[in-house]
């Protein structure tokens, strides 16, 4: 897993509540066994028309969202089924940060295991960010996980909270396997003693 310390990126505003994992990555694309290649199918039913062309009304298809790496959404983002593929699709597409008032628990946990930082901010603060994104063309946010801040070029500075163990793991690029391998010598010694 790649470490996450700081990121500055273009914001895509998704003014929707309760975006579920079935929309983030539809079920017909879950046949892949790799963690990569899902980005092309992200929000497939919303991003594309029936003929396969881009839906110009969809948020990520708008010209000012091209290349966005920060996704701004409403409450309960990532609800629905527990598929980790939803986070894989966001990461493969290039999304590094998702900001919303709340997240579904399993989706939230999966983000930390895949170097996508989910940031919870109050509904009022998220509304402020939506307004700023609408006001400033090419609106960008900078996220600093060490300082736990979100800033922009217009004087905004926000604090966010992250569980300290999750923060540590993301800063150092440690997923569950990497955490286990930190104790490889002790594991090997234990196995050797038991054999």
Any domain includes 154: yes
- Does residue 141 surpass a pLDDT of 90? yes
Torsion-angle region of residue 76: left (phi > 0), alpha (psi -120 to 50) or beta? left
Any domain includes 114: yes
Domain extent at residue 133: 6-194
b or e along 174-194 (b: 16 or more beta carbons within 10 Å of the residue's beta carbon)? beeeeeeeeeeeeeeeeeeee
Any domain includes 146: yes
For 1-42, the pLDDT digits (tens) are 889 999 999 999 999 999 999 999 999 999 888 889 999 999
- Does residue 164 surpass a pLDDT of 70? yes
Domain count, the chain: 1
Any domain includes 1: no
Any domain includes 121: yes
Any domain includes 36: yes
pTM: 0.92
Both tokens of residue 186? 């002790």
What's 31's domain CATH number? 3.20.19.10
């Amino acid at each position: 897993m790649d470490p996450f310390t700081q990121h500055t990126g273009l914001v895509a505003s998704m003014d929707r509540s309760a975006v579920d994992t079935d929309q983030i990555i539809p079920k017909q694309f879950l046949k892949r066994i790799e963690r990569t290649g899902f980005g092309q199918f992200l929000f497939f039913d919303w991003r594309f028309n029936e003929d396969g062309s881009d839906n110009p009304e969809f948020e990520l298809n708008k010209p000012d969202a091209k290349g966005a790496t920060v996704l701004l959404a409403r409450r309960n983002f990532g609800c629905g089924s527990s598929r980790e593929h939803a986070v894989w699709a966001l990461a493969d597409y290039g999304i590094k940060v998702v900001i919303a008032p709340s997240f579904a628990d399993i989706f939230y946990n999966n983000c930390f295991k895949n170097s996508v930082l989910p940031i919870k901010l109050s509904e009022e603060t998220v509304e402020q960010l939506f307004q700023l994104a609408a006001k400033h063309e090419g609106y960008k946010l900078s996220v600093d996980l060490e300082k736990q801040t979100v800033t922009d070029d217009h004087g905004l500075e926000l604090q966010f909270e992250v569980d300290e163990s999750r923060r540590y793991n993301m800063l150092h690029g440690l997923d569950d396997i990497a955490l286990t391998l930190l104790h490889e010598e002790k594991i090997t010694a234990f196995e050797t003693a038991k054999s």
